[in-house]
Amino acid sequence: MIFDHISNLYRYADACRNIKKFVDYLAEHDVTRYDPGRYDIDEDVYFTVKEYTPKDPEKAGWETHKEHIDIQYLLSGSEQSAYMPAYLMEPISDYDPVKDKISYRHNPDQTLLQAKPGMFAIFFPHDAHRSSLSDGTSNRNRKIVVKLKV
């Protein structure tokens, strides 16, 4: 898991070949102005611009992905994400290849990340996470969720 400001995303380009593709795309496009929806960069990288009300943390589920790395980049609003190494989590579902998701039982020993505009989190396949959690300060958020093929 990586948590940082978007101005530093280029520093992680070597962590996965597809992070560099998104870094290069950001250099050429002002994604902060894109309308909500899905945008494909190529067959291995796409992102979704979302506008939403942050979730009640008590109702938000845990997940990991096998086929994708997530970058969650907050454009406006305020929220929290929760993180735990997946090996410390108890699965409550089998892998769903359509959703590329395994769900997990809640673990209160989580690490909470406080996101403000311009911050991003990268969740790798071994990182269980819950995202878009309300921190009680924002009613409406705008975020880009990037999916990078592993």
pLDDT for the residue 23:
96
pLDDT for the residue 138:
82
Q: Quick: pLDDT tens for 100-134.
A: 999 999 999 999 999 999 999 999 999 999 999 99
Strand order in the sheet with 62-64: 102-104, 62-64, 127-133, 79-85, 111-115
Rounded to the nearest 5°, which phi and psi values hold at 19? -65, -40
Quickly state the pLDDT bin for 149 (edges 50, 70, 90). Answer: very high
Share of the chain above pLDDT 70, in %: 100
Average pLDDT of the segment spanning 68-94: 97
Contact 133, 82 (CB under 8 A): yes
pLDDT for the residue 71:
98
What is the model's pTM?
A: 0.95
| Structural domains present in the chain | 2-149 (2.60.120.370)
In the predicted structure, residue 25 carries a pLDDT above the cut 90: yes
